[in-house]
Structures are given as structure tokens and as C-alpha cells.
Amino acid sequence: MSRPATAEVVVVGAGFAGLGAARTLADAGVETVVVDARDRLGGRAHTGHVAGRAIDLGAAWIHGLDGNPMTALASASGARLHRTHWHRPGDPATVVDPAGRRLDAAAFADGFGRFWTRLDEVYATGIEPDVSVTDALGPGRPLDPGSPGDAADGFRYAALVGLAEVEAADAEVLALGERVPDDRPGGDHLLLDGYSAVVAHLADGLDVRLEHPVEAIRPVSGGLEVLGGFGAIRASRVVLTAPVGVLRSGAIDLGGLLPDGIRHRLDRIGMGAAEKLVLAFDDPAWPLGTTNIAVVDTEPDDPFPAWIAHPNGPTLVSYAAGRRARSMAGRATDDLRSAAMATLRRALGDLDDPVDVVRTNWTTDPWSLGSYSYDGGPGAHRARREIADWRGDRLHLAGEAWWPEHHATTDGALSSGRAVANHILA
């Protein structure tokens, strides 16, 4: 049976923003169709199965449970949460240099924590907001790691590896004044069954059409037409949730639907790079209970300075960001596995080969063209806010990038989608 080629609202994208918008609209009785280019739901929230273990290959954590709309949604879907810590004094982390020398994990964690406190202080005082994190890092500068030692190594690692992971961008392109401290309490939690289960719960009962890559959106009498190889779907309004990288690539021809001012502001938003390599083992060779494995002083494009020991183990997940992530593009999975195993064997000693390996390609994936957005340079955050506040007559933008306080998150995406839906309903 062919499906209707008209709807009141067409939502482009079945990630958290698109599904959040569609759920709100459909629950209010608005006839809504969701189209997505991929053959699966969830966009950048996608759970892989590595040696049969549920491992999130995109978004993995709920950052800050308290007051977070994702907490309620995850709970409604029956998600099981697992609290994690990131180099906190007392955590059983393994910290080594590239040669395998072990650092004192407590001192390292102390320096690691001191970095974030100092970064927030520098941001709050507004000193030199346009200075990059790299330029501010060093003895006598705003981000002073303190006396050489394992704590100073922790401070520098937080600046050059940790911050890059949070922002998916290198420290040299992140300006001190652009960071919005994330102060939502409640801790970081992994979803043991993965984000895809939450996505499936949100999408339940919606009219979602997969493998529908949208090529153009055009004005027609009384509304808009969404066009692609699948044909055309007409609607009064369209909610477009394609990621920043895709919007900027021009892959979706919007004609003149986006005003020039919005187009120009779009160019100021950075689209970051973050990639994972997941190695599943039969036996853990790392100390029981280890949470994180950090390798300090790696080359700037080495993709393997940071690992988490996943609770659905024994599984190690590396997290590479910025140029470290981009360096993975074009490398064969076998090559990445060998390089990763060489690093891990130096850090952990004897380690059997993994029984399964999965790598991500968010940076080159045509439906994401990057991992998540960041404020890349002076004025970027203001531009983000202005785009977020823009409300077209018939075309609306939603997505993680357009929720300025919590961009780059699943909950930011969800909130943005719901806000646009509520605007349409008002």
C-alpha cells in the first residue's frame, strides 16, 4: 500500500530532535511524517553490537541527570543507567606515558579536575576571551598546569585531550570566551542497553519513512514540498533536523528558504570530529574495576590517548576527537586495531587479541559529516543563539546545534525538537 504523499508537517531526520518534534506534534493530533536518509532510526544515537554486547557508537552518556529531559525519557523507556566518573581522585584509572611508565592516578586525577575548575574561573572572569586554550596553557598563563609532575600531566591532558573530547575540537581552535560551562548536576550515566532502545521508545507509533534521503525543499502553494529519489511529500511546514555539517554541505537544496543572515551565521558554527574504536575481549587484562585508561603525551594526531572500560565488558572503547579523530578517516580497521593494540599492550602488558572490533566514521558519514557542533571562534556562540531563535514561516530548524545551553548532546537535540513543535502548535 502506498503511503500518503501529504502531511501537515514533514520532519526531516529521525534523530532525537526529529523524533522529539514528531512525538510532540503527533501527540497533539497533527498529521506528521518523518523521513530519514538512513536505514535505521536515531541518527547520531546508535547502539552497535560488539561481540553481542550493546555499545553506543555515537552518543553514550546522559550528562547530568537532574533537570535533564533525557532522564525522564530514558526512564519511561525502561533504560538501565550506570554512573561513570572521569579521572576523579579515588577512581581505579590506569594512566601511562607512551613508553608504558605508570603515573600516579590520584595525582593525575587531581590535576585533571583542577583544569576544569580553572577553565570555568577564567571564563567567568572574562580574561582574554578570544585567546585559544592552547595559547592560554603554560606556566604563568591563565591555564597554568602548576609544578611539573603527574598532577600537571593530568591538567595538560584535560586541556589537550579531555576538552577536545567534550567539544570535538582541538584546543587551538577553542577560544576561552566561547565555552559555556556545563553545570547540570547529577553525574554522567551510560545506558546499559544503549541509546537505541530510548530512540525506539520515542519513535513508537510514528509514521517514519527510512531510506528517504531528502535532496531539496521547495515552496509550493500553501506550503512546502520535500523532494528526493522517493518522490515528493507536501506539507504545510517542514522541520529540518539535518546536522550542521550536512546543512553546510549543500546536500539539501533549500533554494532561498534560509535567509542570507542565517546562512552566514551557519558558517560560524564549528562541526566537530569525534570517533570511537571498540575492542571486545574474552578476558580483561586490565585491573578489575578500572574505569579509564589514559595515555599522556601522545602525538597530537594519535587516535588512542583515551579509553573507557565499558561496563558491558570486557570491552574497551577509545574516544578520539579533533585531529585525532580525523586521522582515523581513510585508515583501514585492521590498521587501527594494530595501532590500538600496540598502545594498549604498552599500557597494560599482556593482552590477547580482541574477539571483535568496530570503528565509527561519523566524520565522513554523509548523513552527519561530523560528530557534534562546537563554538569555534569569536561570535560563534552568539551566531548559534541567533539561528536557534530564528523561526521561519514554514521551514523550521531543529537539532543539537540549536539548543545553545546544551548543544552537542542528546537532550539538547530533544529539547530543540520539542521547542519547535510547541512553536508550531502555539
What Å distances lie between residue 55 and 92, 106, 199, 280, 388, CA to CA? 21, 28, 15, 10, 31
Query: Using CB under 6 A, which of 59, 161, 279, 336 touches ligand FAD?
Result: 59
User: What phi, psi does 388 have (nearest 5°)?
Assistant: -60, -35
Query: Using CB under 6 A, which of 10, 21, 32, 38 touches ligand FAD?
Result: 38
Q: Does 359 bind ligand FAD (CB under 6 A)?
A: no
Query: Using CB under 6 A, which of 347, 400, 419, 421 touches ligand FAD?
Result: 400
**Cβ contact 224:35 at 8 Å:** no
Kindly indicate which of the ranges 90-98, 128-136, 246-254, 334-342 contains the residues binding ligand FAD, using the contact rule CB under 6 A.
Answer: 246-254
Q: Closest CB to ligand FAD among 37 and 169? A: 37
Kindly indicate which of the ranges 37-45, 95-103, 202-210, 381-389 contains the residues binding ligand FAD, using the contact rule CB under 6 A.
Answer: 37-45
Query: Using CB under 6 A, which of 60, 169, 217, 340 touches ligand FAD?
Result: 60
Q: Closest CB to ligand FAD among 47 and 94? A: 47
Kindly indicate which of the ranges 30-38, 78-86, 201-209, 303-311 contains the residues binding ligand FAD, using the contact rule CB under 6 A.
Answer: 30-38
Q: Closest CB to ligand FAD among 16 and 115? A: 16
Q: Closest CB to ligand FAD among 297 and 302? A: 302
Q: Does 55 bind ligand FAD (CB under 6 A)?
A: no
How many C-beta neighbours within 10 Å does residue 148 have?
A: 9
Tell me the residue type at 368: S
Tell me the residue type at 293: I
And the C-alpha cell for 421?
Answer: 513543535
**Measured in Å, how far apart are the chain's first and last C-alpha atoms?**
34
Q: Does 251 bind ligand FAD (CB under 6 A)?
A: yes
Please report which helix (H) or strand (E) contains residue 32, including its range: strand 32-35
Rounded Cα distance, 426 and 416, in Å: 15
Give least dist CB 43 to ligand FAD, A. 2
Query: Using CB under 6 A, which of 23, 53, 63, 324 touches ligand FAD?
Result: 63
Q: Which residue has the cell 523524533?
A: 19
Fill in the per-residue mask, 260 to 299: x = in contact with ligand FAD (CB under 6 A), - = not in contact: --------------x-x-----------------------
Query: Using CB under 6 A, which of 307, 371, 395, 420 touches ligand FAD?
Result: 371
How many C-beta neighbours within 10 Å does residue 116 have?
A: 18
Query: Using CB under 6 A, which of 11, 32, 44, 197 touches ligand FAD?
Result: 44
Length of the chain: 426
And the C-alpha cell for 293?
Answer: 585508561
Beta strands in 376-426 (DSSP E): 395-397
Binding residues among 403-422 for ligand FAD as defined by CB under 6 A: 408-410, 413
Q: Closest CB to ligand FAD among 19 and 133? A: 19
Residue 370 burial class via C-beta count within 10 angstroms: exposed 0-12, middle 13-18, buried 19 and up: buried
**Cβ contact 30:425 at 8 Å:** yes
Q: Closest CB to ligand FAD among 61 and 115? A: 61
**Cβ contact 253:292 at 8 Å:** no
Q: Does 311 bind ligand FAD (CB under 6 A)?
A: no
Q: Does 375 bind ligand FAD (CB under 6 A)?
A: no
Query: Using CB under 6 A, which of 13, 162, 194, 303 touches ligand FAD?
Result: 13
Rg (alpha carbons) of the chain, rounded to whole number = 22
* DSSP calls for 133-191: HHHHBSTTSSB---SSSHHHHHHHHIIIIIHHHHHTS-GGG-BGGG-------S-EEEE
Binding site for ligand FAD (CB under 6 A): 12-18, 35-38, 43-45, 58-61, 63, 213-214, 241-243, 246, 251-252, 274, 276, 362, 367-368, 371-372, 399-400, 408-410, 413
